[in-house]
């Protein structure tokens, strides 16, 4: 039986409209993922005009509208906080009561916290939709964004569990994955399990294949689309931290072994290296102090009491000259100490510091050496010496953030120690 022409034409147009709707949907999703909310909403509405029953378009329109409203509310809150803060400062400057404004600022800040909760919830909903549509790269990216900001978010943790199941299912049964996609999903699965070594290894393999198989621009686009770059860096940092911890453990065990057989100077050098990396390493302080004492006695036996005392006085004078920024005299003190005891590592270190400062007052390299010397002093329990070293660090490099933080920390510790009641 022949189909009437008008009916056939209608069926053909309907199919064409549905095909066009399907073609517009990826464009809208791409704009949505680029946070181009208005453009995305326009595309999804066009899809729904042609295909009113399109479930994906309905879901994305709702998500895009929510994201747009959230951004507008956040922008309004930021502007309100800026205006309130400026008004409060003017009242304070004029010695006027700013209580009402402070209350308004507090209320706005609390509203901001609620807005963050709403933003995390919206991302979780988006991740859920992406997972259900099989967009696992985007879904993982969204959930890990939330967990970076708030690792205890219960909704994100639940969605992560669902994602892990979806990843496992896809890896076990997905036959249409490219090799880079498979490595990327393996990386996301391992990352969700906090197995950073496996995650980093998988992402490195996927990256290597793409960079070797495609032109640079295309490989970069593919890597960006797979959304693992930020987490690859985090995983790499975890891997490096684990490697450094293992190296510290190995050095500590080696140092203890050397200490027990009487090789105190070698043990001391290892303990000092650990102190620079982690001054609060367990049991380090005890062994560091003991090794310093034994190395000093060893030096005294080798040099004799008189020569040892002279070396110590020269180093003390040199350090005082360093603190006073009299680098020429400091260098001479350390040179004299080394002439008497060429193996004195501390004198050599201080001489290097002094020499680096003779021609340049603000020297990041010299500042770093003082910072590391302070870490060793701190690990040895010499808090006042640590303060001196970190003050010199900041004098040479005022932007040395780690030294500033360390100095503040140890000064608080000293203040608490001085305030503590003396036990009879």
Distance, in Å, from the CA atom of 56 to the CA atom of 59, rounded to the nearest integer, reads 5
- State the Cα–Cα distance between residues 228 and 137, nearest whole angstrom: 8
Instruction: Work out the percent of the chain whose per-residue pLDDT is above 90.
Output: 35
Q: Would you place residue 111 in the very low, low, confident or very high pLDDT band (cuts 50, 70, 90)?
A: low
pLDDT over 90 (residue 257): yes
- Residue 2 binned pLDDT confidence (cut-offs 50, 70, 90): very low
Residues spanned by the domain of 326? 245-419
Report if residue 403 sits inside a domain: yes
Q: Is the pLDDT of residue 424 over 60?
A: no
Mean per-residue pLDDT for 135-155?
93
Does 336 reside within a domain?
yes
Angle between helices 229-260 and 284-303 (to 10 degrees): 50
Residue 128 in this model has a pLDDT that exceeds 70: yes
Q: Which of 140, 130, 133 is nearest to 226 (CA)?
A: 140
The per-residue pLDDT for 358 is 76
Three-state DSSP class for residue 360: coil
- Structure tokens of 17? 């409209």
| Residue 264 belongs to some domain of the structure | yes
**Residue 89 is assigned to a structural domain of this protein:** no
Q: What is the pLDDT of residue 18?
A: 42
Q: What is the pLDDT of residue 101?
A: 60
Please say if the pLDDT value at position 71 is more than 60.
Answer: yes
DSSP state of 2: P
Residue 150 lies in a domain: no
**Mean pLDDT taken over the chain:** 82
Question: Domain count of the chain?
Answer: 1
Q: Is residue 335 part of a domain?
A: yes
* Structure token pair of residue 160: 């992560």
The Cα 76–Cα 88 span in angstroms is 18
Does residue 318 have a pLDDT over 60? yes
Q: Does the structure show a pLDDT above 90 at 322?
A: no
Question: What is the per-residue pLDDT across 202-226, written as a single tens digit (0 to 9) for each?
Answer: 999 999 999 999 999 999 999 999 9
The average pLDDT across 289-294 equals 90
What phi and psi, each to the nearest 5 degrees, are found at residue 140? Answer: -60, -45
* Chain position carrying tokens 């073609």: 23
Of the CA atoms within 13 Å of residue 299, those in its CB half-sphere come to 26
Residues 266-284 have a mean pLDDT of 90
**What are all long-range contacts of 50-57, with beta carbons under 8 Å and residues at least 24 apart?**
50/17, 50/18, 50/20, 50/21, 50/24, 51/17, 51/18, 51/21, 51/22, 54/21, 54/25, 56/25, 56/29, 56/133, 57/21, 57/25, 57/28
What average pLDDT does this structure show over 326-354?
85
Contacts of 238 (CB under 8 A, 6+ apart): 196, 197, 200
Question: Which one-letter DSSP state was computed for residue 362?
Answer: S
91 located within any domain: no
**Which pLDDT does position 19 carry in this prediction?**
46
Q: Which pLDDT value is given to residue 6?
A: 40
23 assigned to some structural domain: no
């Amino acid at each position: 039986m022949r189909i009437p022409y008008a009916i056939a034409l209608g069926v053909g147009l309907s199919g064409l409209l549905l095909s066009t709707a399907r073609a517009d949907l990826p464009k809208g999703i791409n704009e949505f993922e680029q946070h181009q909310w208005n453009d995305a909403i326009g595309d999804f509405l066009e899809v729904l005009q042609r295909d009113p029953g399109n479930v994906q378009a309905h879901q994305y329109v709702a998500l895009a509208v929510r994201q747009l409203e959230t951004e507008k509310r956040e922008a309004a809150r930021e502007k309100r906080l800026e205006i309130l803060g400026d008004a409060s400062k003017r009242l304070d400057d004029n010695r006027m009561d700013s209580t009402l404004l402070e209350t308004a600022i507090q209320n706005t800040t609390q509203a901001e916290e609620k807005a963050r909760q709403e933003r995390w919830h919206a991302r979780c909903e988006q991740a859920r939709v992406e997972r259900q549509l099989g967009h696992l790269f985007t879904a993982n990216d969204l959930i890990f964004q939330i967990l970076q900001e708030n690792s205890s978010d219960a909704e994100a943790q639940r969605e992560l569990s669902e994602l892990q199941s979806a990843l496992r299912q896809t890896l076990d049964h997905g036959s249409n994955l490219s090799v880079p996609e498979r490595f990327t999903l393996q990386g996301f699965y391992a990352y969700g399990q906090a197995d950073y070594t496996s995650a980093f290894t998988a992402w490195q393999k996927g990256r290597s294949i793409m960079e070797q198989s495609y032109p640079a621009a295309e490989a970069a686009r593919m890597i960006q689309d797979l959304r693992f770059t930020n987490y690859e860096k985090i995983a790499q940092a975890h891997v490096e931290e684990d490697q450094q911890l293992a190296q510290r453990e190995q050095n500590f065990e080696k140092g203890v072994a050397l200490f027990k057989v009487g090789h105190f100077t070698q043990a001391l050098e290892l303990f000092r290296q650990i102190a620079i990396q982690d001054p609060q390493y367990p049991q380090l302080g005890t062994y560091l102090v003991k090794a310093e004492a034994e190395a000093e006695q060893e030096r005294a036996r080798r040099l004799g009491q008189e020569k040892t005392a002279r070396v110590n006085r020269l180093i003390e004078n040199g350090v005082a000259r360093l603190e006073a920024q009299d680098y020429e005299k400091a260098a001479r003190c350390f040179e004299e100490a080394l002439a008497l005891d060429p193996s004195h590592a501390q004198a050599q270190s201080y001489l290097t510091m002094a020499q680096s400062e003779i021609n340049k007052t603000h020297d990041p390299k010299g500042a770093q050496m003082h910072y590391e010397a302070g870490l060793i002093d701190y690990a040895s329990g010499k808090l006042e010496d640590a303060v001196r070293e970190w003050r010199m660090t900041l004098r040479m490099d005022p932007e040395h953030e780690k030294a500033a933080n360390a100095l503040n920390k140890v000064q608080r510790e000293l203040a608490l120690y001085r305030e503590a009641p003396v036990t009879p």
